[in-house]
Chain A
Amino acid sequence: QKEVEQNSGPLSVPEGAIASLNCTYSDRGSQSFFWYRQYSGKSPELIMFIYSNGDKEDGRFTAQLNKASQYVSLLIRDSQPSDSATYLCAVDQGAQKLVFGQGTRLTINP
């Protein structure tokens, strides 16, 4: 069973601080990695994707990938209350499918 593991949280971060969300995966053959944000009662919304080792930045969000360690993370700088949501890590399983972690619930405290 190819797995994606996330700390379920809740992760509580003060407003303006950096939120760090982590994800590990078991399939060494995985090539594509995605972060989705899901507000309560809503559908998953794509935040970022990353394919290569290193960092990828988009506004306040930075995705980090380390394939040797099978580790992908999402950093949120200058956290805002509107960032409070569940963050899902998704990893390609090959065969055109994604495997999702169970998500980390993030709360930003004003």
Chain B
Amino acid sequence: DAGITQSPRYKITETGRQVTLMCHQTWSHSYMFWYRQDLGHGLRLIYYSAAADITDKGEVPDGYVVSRSKTENFPLTLESATRSQTSVYFCASREGYSNQPQHFGDGTRLSIL
């Protein structure tokens, strides 16, 4: 039972570069989420998706792009990375019912120099 996996686990890149963080889940959950976690801000929602080809903005979407062509994958792209996007990124998924808990991947630690 692989659950939800994120890759890479660690990434160092430079400002202005494009970087894509991958998220894959094997539960066939309809909902998927991207969060960033920073000291002093806790977990903040970047984007979420209710199903394939349906995505919506969260609290901090600027500078990020998402897509969801398949139910199991939800990549997050930083089109032109900035230092302020240095953070730990978590992907999560959930069944379709709104009262169900979200389950998190192991996270990607992203450093932008």
Contact = CB atoms under 8 A, between A and B. Distances in A.
B22 interface: no
B90 A96 contact: no
Contact of A44 (B41, B43, B45): B43
Contacts of B90: 43-44
Interface residues of A, number: 21
A43 B105 contact: yes
Nearest to A47: B101
Interface string A49-76: 1010000000000000000000000000
Given A88-B42, A88-B43, A97 B99 contact: no
Interface string A23-43: 000000001101010000011
B58 interface: yes
A45 interface: yes
B31 A34 contact: no
Contacts of B103: 46
Contact of A32 (B40, B45, B99, B104): B99
A49 B98 CA distance: 12
Interface size bucket, B side? Answer: 20 to 34
Interface string A76-110: 00000000000010101000111011110000000
Interface string B3-43: 00000000000000000000000000001010000001111
A97 B41 contact: no
A98 B102 contact: yes
Given A88-B42, A96-B31, A32 B105 contact: no
Nearest to B104: A43
Nearest to B41: A102
A43 B107 contact: yes
B99 to A, nearest CB: 4
A100 B42 contact: yes
Interface of A: 31-32, 34, 36, 42-46, 49, 51, 88, 90, 92, 96-98, 100-103
